[in-house]
Structure 1
Amino acid sequence: MMRQFELVERVKRYYPEANEDLLNRAYVYAMRAHGSQKRASGDPYFSHPLEVAAILTDLHVDDQTIAAAILHDTIEDTGTTREDIANRFGENIADLVDGLTKIKKLDLVSKKAAQAENLRKLLLAVAADARVLLVKLADRLHNMRTLHFVPPDKRARIAEETLEIYAPLAGRIGMQDMREELEDICFRVLMPDAHLMMTRRLQALRERAGGLIELIERDLKAKLLANSILGEIKGREKRVYSIWRKMERKSISFEQLSDVFGFRVIVGTAEDCYRALGIIHQAWPFVPGRFKDYISTPKQNDYRSIHTTVVGPKHQRVELQIRTREMDAVAEFGIAAHAAYKEGGSQPNGGGESNAYRWLRRTIELLAEGDNPEEFLEHTKLELFQDQVFCFTPKGLLIALPRGATPIDFAYAVHTDIGNNTVGCRINGRNSPLISELQNGDEVEILTTVGQVPPAAWESLVVTGKARAAIRRATREAVRKQFVGLGRRIVERAFSRAGKTFSEEKLVAALPRLARATLDDVLTAVGRGEMYSGDVVKAVFPDFREEVSKAAAPGTGAGWFGVQGAEKLKFKVPGQESSTGSIPIRGLSDDLPVRFAPNGGAVPGDRIVGILTPGEGITIYPIQSPALVAYDEEPWRWLDVRWDVDEHDPRRFGAQLTISVINEPGSLAEIARVIADTDANIDNIAMRAKTADFREMILDIEVWDLKHLTAIISELRAKPLVANVERVIG
């Protein structure tokens, strides 16, 4: 176990101004707090936070981060409280330790929910201070290095979580070496046979290659020196999990891989990077399609480098990464290579906040808007852990998106309002479908219209967490708005029937009696059929007593009729009168949750009635529909509705016909011609054999109103090949 003075010396080597007293006090406090606790390996528990601190010293983090690493398990695993840490070591360190403390006592419904809630807390703490993430990743790395001491069932779960969340997160913030080590350990635990096979094949390739790596290193260095470029060459082999993942993703064999051997060419300046690239391409042929310039277009985690693949000595393909020393530090340590993890924090090297951290913090803040832990976990995986494509706005703004992203994802990445109002797009100046998959370098222009509501189906088309969350929120808000509108109309009519004046102010004052927080909550509950409108009247006017027929059960639903009674409704003829007590229906509009009866629907001119289904809205039936018999025992679900078609905004309505026709060629064409000539539209058609001489067609058509539908039926009946036409009323 590392001694106290050894830890202090490691920190002082790269950070001479480190607070030695702080480190000593943290060491002693944590050792006493953990006392005689043991790890699964049998080692003293205190050895774990020391190893975490040692990992962080390799990243050259500040003294506060080292102290937090030493203390990171004290709140979770000992009797220490956040207040104890704050009093002894200050608020900054207390915040870091608290951000790393898992939620143990939450009443969560599943392990997935617990995992998601822990991740939410961690990432929200990261949004405040990125040093939390550095300590957490170092903590996870040491736990993975000692995973073989953990029981097999728990071992697999930890490895799966690490592979899904923590390894990609390390890569996303640029800490590639840590990501690769975490992935290799997980690979060995989760797929031991595949890991062993890949290890053996890599060893066999290494033996066949002989001293190839050393040969290429010498050749590269000599060629650079001959052109007055001082550079450092680092040869490496690709990690076994990276090889396996690439073979799986691209469905290629081990022999087809072109970058098992890789080299980092580290030079002094960005200009030297491009000079070195020219020298290398003159010496060895490069592989087409294998060149990427991340210096001119850096990744969002600040990674900068030139990538190229060449055919080197012995016809071996090798990947080259050309970068400066500063770029190499960022590539190796990610945000740990930047000094300012927290604005205003005391840091060893000074400097500004990194692009990687700014992007990470902004993304986390957006993800934090999720409504539940599982949704947060889903969005985090979608948003943080996929390969990227880089696209541009017409003004040249770079937008990074996961691979497979669509223009809808792009629109939401620019701004949520733009995404919600999207109606179309142009990709590279050409009108394109919104479901197009974006490619690197695409210029995307989003076409918008104010007042649009994104279709719920978009949720299955997008790949980014931000877009998916925004679509869900917009859909929920649109549905809620519909139920609020319906509830308001029902409540206003209930007040009118009771001889009372509807007043929002009086209703707001009665909210405590209705156990709702806002007026919209009450209206939504009434519109969804979860609260009876008569109860709302009673809450505002406690002395009010309504007269209800015995058939009604007002306590069980959102009845329309109040004192009228169910019997009076069922013999009333709603739809033709201009009744002020009726709910106006215009069709499948955005302002009410309305749908029409299946197998027939209803059209303007029909006498109609509405049936309220709790949680779903109103279903409109023609008054003669046999389906209404099923609701005889539930009169509180009946709503008085009427047509309110806008003459300036005509729309078609669905109806269904059954047509018996003579079985001869051209019969379908004749029927279709009648539908077209009468300005109707066929939505769906089905045919079945009735007898050898006749076929029955079931036609779903769209018409303007009942008069239009009647004319169509008359035209069809006049045709010699038509034996019978009937309208279906479901």
Structure 2
Amino acid sequence: MMRQYELVDRVRKYNPQTDEDLLNRAYVYAMRAHGAQKRASGDPYFTHPLEVAAILTEMKLDDATIVAAVLHDTIEDTSATRAEIDQLFGPEIGSLVDGLTKLKKLDLVSKRAAQAENFRKLLLAIADDVRVLLVKLADRLHNMRTLHYVSPEKRARIAEETLEIYAPLAGRMGMQNLRDELENLSFKYLMPEAFAMVSTRLEDLRDKNKELIKTIEEELTGELARRGIQAHVRGRQKQPYSVWSKMERKSVAFEQLSDIFGFRVVVNDVDEVYRVIGVVHTKWPMVPGRFKDYISTPKQNDYRSVHTTVVGPGRQRVELQVRTHEMHDIARHGIAAHALYKDGRNAPAPVLSHESNAYQWLKRTIDMLADGDSPEEFLEHTRLELFHDQVFCFTPKGRLIALPRGATPIDFAYAVHTSVGNSAVGVKINGRLAPLLSPLANGDEVEIIRAEGQTPPAAWESIAITGKARAAIRRASRDAVRAQYAGLGRQIVLRAFERAAKKYSEDKLRAALPRLARASVEDVLAAVGRGEMFSGDVVKSVYPDFKEERRPAAPANPADPGWFGMQKASGVQFKVPGASGSIHALPIRGLRGDLPVTFAPNGGAVPGDRIVGILTPGEGVTVYPIQSPALAAFDDQPERWLDVRWDIDDAQELFPAKVIVAAINEPGSLGAVASLIGEMGANIDDVKFNKKSPDFREMILEIQVFDLKHLTDVLSRLRALPIVNSVERVIG
């Protein structure tokens, strides 16, 4: 275990002005707070926060961050409180420790929701002070280094979470060294056989190419020195997880990878970077399409270098990364390399990252929280943002937009502004009209064609790949559905006021909102339109003395064969279209108001079926069984779907169903089928025949039954008839 003086010495090496008393007090406090707690390895728990602090001293971070690392588990795992930390170490350190503390007593159903909510809290804390992220990543790194001590189930869960969230987050913050180690450790525990295979192959390749790498390093260093350029040239090998990912992504074997080895050239200034490129391209042929300038166009995580690939000594393809010492520092340590306190000043954290693209990306990600998405949606959006490489596109005015690789103009439009995405109807890519689904490439100029009043189709959510676009499309779809329900609800409410002979006043309805437990008039109208609120209750909220008089159902009109008559559903009367002249009760919850209601045209629905209503404005609602294949036609129209269910315990009326009976083609077959259906208390409404073969005939029967159990009994009895080959229910 690291001693107290060792921690102080580590910090003093890069910060002579360190507050030794603060570090000593934090050491003693944390050691006493954790007391006799043990880790899974059997070591004292206090060794963990000390190792986290040690990792951060390698990044040369300020006193407050080191102290927060030492204390980071005290509030969560000991009796220490935020107030006590504030009092002893100051509110700055207290805020850092609190940001690293998981939420307790979460009243959430799933572990996934709890994980997402804790991740939301963490990112909010990081948005306030980026040092929270640095401590969290160091904490995760030490946990991964000691993961072999925990149970296999917990090991797999932590490794998967690290690979899905924390390693990509470290990458997006530019902390490549830390990301590499997190990825390789996760790879080792999640896929041990693949890890062992790739690691062994890399080791063999390193031994085989040792002399070639040395030759290239010496030749390149000498060539640059002859041109007056002092450069540090070092061969490097890709990490096991990086190699495995590329093999999986491109479906290639290990032997087919040509860029496992590369060379990094570090020089003093930007001018020398481009001089190196000139020397290299003059001496060796460049591989076309392999030149990338991340200095003129930095990556979103602040990474800057020039990449090129040449055919070098021995006709070997050599990948080169050329950068300055400062760029190299940022490439390794990312956002931590922006710390202004490295010169001994303890600058507040927000100052150190104002110019960091990575930190600005993180702030934009946090902005999505304000849009009211659930924790799970937020976690999904953040993962989408983390996992993708980037392409760089431009607006017609030259504004640079960084997007994940594979992004479409839909993602581009929402990256420019939410209103641009919502009103997008077309796109020009490099001056030519193109589909909105076109994948964008580096350097594309993208012009979004807009139409005011346009609403993005709900199907766009499955096409967009950025979290911001998906969240905006989902909100726009919800708003559009809400507006449609509110329009329908307004019509129902106005008719209800007319029937009651009362004057409708929006101001009076607004005053009655507390009685309806709704925040706005639009909320009330939308609730009525969805069937969640009875229009008569709205009238009563405005006119409390109003008493609704129920009218009996009107008799069927023989002159109007297209109507069953006036039906009741949950106390409200409906006209229900049908082919029969008989009158049926339609006990369905969720359909309130004067809406025409009919069953699915091919097969109907019976009590016991899970059902859904499809709204057709101006025509009414059609009720389908939930398993009906016809519902696929409405997948892209979620605003038309109504949540309905049967409100019945003991059915007294008959409901339509369709069955197909394949029976032996002989005299009396139809009679036997019809007799059994009659004996079972069901009714045949219509029958058609199809001749399947000379021996069998198919009867298509439209029957009427009381409920799903009754229908199941009828089908079972039919299957038992000796003349029947098969019986199937038709659901259209």
Fold equivalence (TM over 0.5): yes
Change (3 A) 1:286 1:148: same
**Superposition deviation, residue 551 in structure 1:** 5.2
2:323 is aligned with 1:300: no
Q: 1:430 to 1:595 in 2, by over 3 A?
A: farther
Distance 1:293 1:30 in 2: 47
Match of 1:61 in 2: 61
Tell me the distance in 2 between the aligned counterparts of 1:121 and 1:150. 26
Change (3 A) 1:690 1:194: same
Partner of 1:500: 502
Q: Offset at 1:512?
A: 2.5
| AA in 2 matched with 1:264 | R
Is 403-412 or 216-225 further displaced after alignment?
Answer: 216-225
Q: What is the CA distance between 1:329 and its match in structure 2?
A: 0.8
Deviation at 1:288, TM superposition (A): 2.4
Work out the CA distance in 1 between the residues paired with 2:508 and 2:495. 16
Deviations 1:642-675 (A, max 9, x none): xxxxxxxxxxxxxxxxxxxxxxxxxxxxxxxxxx
- Secondary structure in structure 1 of the residue aligned to 2:155: helix
C-alpha distance after superposition, 1:20-45 (max 9, x if no partner): 22222221211111111110011111
Which SS does the other structure have where 2:371 is aligned?
Answer: coil
Match of 1:464 in 2: 466
SS at match of 2:459: helix
Deviation at 1:328, TM superposition (A): 0.5
Q: 1:219 to 1:192 in 2, by over 3 A?
A: same
- Distance of 2:571 and 2:268 partners within structure 1: 76
Partner of 2:211: 211
> Is the 8 Å Cα contact of residues 389 and 440 (structure 1) preserved in structure 2?
yes
Give the 3-state SS of the residue equivalent to 1:456 in structure 2: coil
Residues of 2 paired with 1:595 and 1:410: CA distance? 43
C-alpha contact 1:595 1:620 (8 A) present in aligned 2 = no
2:161 corresponds to which residue? 161
Percent sequence identity over aligned pairs: 65
Q: Give CA-to-partner distance per residue, 1:435-482, whole Å, 9 cap, x none.
A: 111111110000111111101111111111100000000000010111
Structure 1 residue 169: Cα displacement: 0.8
| 1:246 partnered with 2:249 | no
Corresponding residue number in structure 2 for 1:231: 231
Quote the Cα distance in structure 1 between the aligned partners of 2:352 and 2:334: 16
- Judged with a 3 Å threshold, the aligned counterparts in structure 2 of structure 1 residues 351 and 176 are, in CA distance, closer, same or farther, namely closer
Q: How far is 1:17 from its partner?
A: 2.7
Compared CA separation, residues 558 and 158, structure 1 to 2 (3 A): farther
Secondary structure of the 1:299 match is: coil
Kindly indicate whether residue 92 of structure 2 is the aligned counterpart of residue 92 of structure 1. Answer: yes
Instruction: Answer yes or no: is the 8 Å Cα contact 1:490–1:560 preserved in 2.
Output: no
In structure 2, what is the equivalent of residue 517 of structure 1?
519
Deviation at 1:173, TM superposition (A): 0.9
**CA gap 1:559/1:520 in 2 versus in 1, 3 angstroms:** farther
Segment drifting more, 15-24 vs 407-416? 15-24
What is the aligned partner in structure 2 of residue 48 from structure 1?
48
What letter is aligned with 2:214? E
Distance 1:210 1:691, change over 3 A: closer
Q: How is 1:38-437 mapped onto 2 (pairs within 5 angstroms)?
A: 38-339=38-339, 345-346=347-348, 352-367=354-369, 369-437=371-439
Match of 2:34, as an amino acid?
H
Task: Report the alpha carbon displacement of residue 689 of structure 1 after superposing the two structures with TM.
Answer: 10
Q: Report the count of equivalent residues.
A: 599
1:434, distance to aligned residue in structure 2 (A)? 0.5
CA distance in 2, matches of 1:198, 1:31: 41
Report the Cα distance in structure 1 between the residues aligned to 2:253 and 2:169, rounded to whole angstroms: 28
Residue type matched to 1:80 in 2?
A
Aligned partner letter, 1:394: P
> Offset of 1:104 from its aligned partner?
3.1
For the 8 Å contact 1:370–1:469, the answer to whether it is kept is: no
SS at match of 1:16: coil
Residue 615 to residue 123, structure 1, CA distance change in 2 (3 Å) = farther
Matched residue type, 1:321: Q
Please list the CA deviations of residues 197-253 of structure 1 after superposition, one character each: whole Å capped at 9, or x if unmatched: 111111221222132222222222111111111111222211111111111112222
> Which of 532, 535, 541 lines up with 2:534 in the alignment?
532
Match of 2:27 in 1: 27
Distance in structure 2 (CA, Å) of the matches to 1:557 and 1:420? 39
Give the conservation status (yes or no) of the 8 Å contact 1:379–1:466: yes
Tell me the alpha carbon deviations over residues 669-724 of structure 1, each in whole angstroms, 9 at most, x when there is no partner. xxxxxxxxxxxxxxxxxxx99999xxxxxxxxxxxxxxxxxxxxxxxxxxxxxxxx
Q: Give the letter for the 1:171 counterpart.
A: G
SS in 2 for 1:319: strand
CA distance in 1 between counterparts of 2:452 and 2:346 reads 41
1:18 aligns with 2:48: no
TM-score by length of 1: 0.76
1:32 partner amino acid: R
Q: In structure 2, the residue corresponding to 1:211 is in which secondary structure?
A: helix
User: CA offsets, 1:80-135, max 9 Å, x none?
Assistant: 12222222222222221111111231111212111111111111111111111111
Q: Which amino acid aligns with 2:432?
A: R
- C-alpha spacing 1:494/1:339, structure 2 compared with 1 (3 Å): same
Instruction: Give the aligned residue type for 2:30.
Output: A
Q: Counterparts of 1:296 and 1:368 in 2: how far apart (Å)?
A: 33
What residue identity is the alignment partner of 2:357? N
Q: Which runs of 5+ in 1 are unaligned?
A: 572-582, 586-593, 601-612, 636-687, 693-729
1:447 lines up with 2:456 in the alignment = no
Supply the distance in 1 between the matched residues of 2:208 and 2:145 (Cα, whole angstroms): 31
* Distance across 2 between alignment mates of 1:40 and 1:179: 24
- Aligned amino acid, residue 406 of structure 1: T
Deviation string 1:172-194 (CA, Å, 9 cap, x unpaired) is: 11111111111111111111111
Give, in whole Å, the separation in 1 of the partners of 2:415 and 2:166.
Answer: 24
Aligned equivalent of 2:708: none
1:15 offset after TM fit, Å? 2.1
**Which whole-Å deviations, capped at 9, do the CAs of 1:581-633 have from their partners, x for residues lacking one?**
xx999xxxxxxxx9999769xxxxxxxxxxxx99864565599x9x9xxx9x9
| Contact residue 567 and residue 573 of structure 2 kept, 8 A | no
Which amino acid letter does the alignment assign opposite residue 308 of structure 1?
Answer: T
Indicate how the Cα distance of structure 1 residues 106 and 221 shifts in structure 2: closer, same or farther if over 3 A, else same.
Answer: same
Asked if the contact 1:62/1:347 (under 8 Å) is kept, the reply is no
Q: CA deviation at 1:18?
A: 2.6
Which position in structure 2 is the counterpart of 1:724? Answer: none
Partner of 1:715: none
Q: Aligned partners of 1:460, 1:350: CA distance in 2, in Å?
A: 38
- The answer to whether the aligner puts 1:478 opposite 2:491 as a matched pair is no
Equivalent position amino acid for 1:241 in 2? Y
Q: Do the aligned partners of residues 269 and 486 (structure 1) sit closer, same or farther apart at CA in structure 2, a change above 3 Å counting?
A: same
Amino acid at match of 1:245: S
Structure 2 residue aligned with 1:681: none
What amino acid is aligned across from residue 166 of structure 1 in structure 2? Y
1:392 corresponds to which letter in structure 2?
Answer: F
Say whether the 8 Å CA contact 1:290–1:309 is kept in structure 2. yes
Please tell me whether residue 7 in structure 1 is matched to residue 46 in structure 2. Answer: no
RMSD over aligned Cα atoms: 3.4
Conserved? CA contact 1:340–1:354, under 8 Å: no
Change over 3 Å in CA distance of 1:124–1:205 after alignment to 2: same
TM-score, with structure 2 as normaliser: 0.76
Judge conservation of contact 1:529–1:558 (CA < 8 Å) in 2.
Answer: no
CA contact (8 A) 2:573 2:594 kept: no
> Cα–Cα, structure 1 residues 4 and 539, in superposed 2: closer, same or farther, change >3 Å?
same
- Which consecutive unaligned segments of at least 5 residues does structure 2 have? 555-565, 582-592, 603-610, 626-643, 649-688, 694-731
Evaluate the alpha carbon distance shift between residue 467 and residue 222 of structure 1 in structure 2; reply closer, same or farther with a 3 A threshold. same
Structure 1 residue 550 displacement after superposition: 5.0
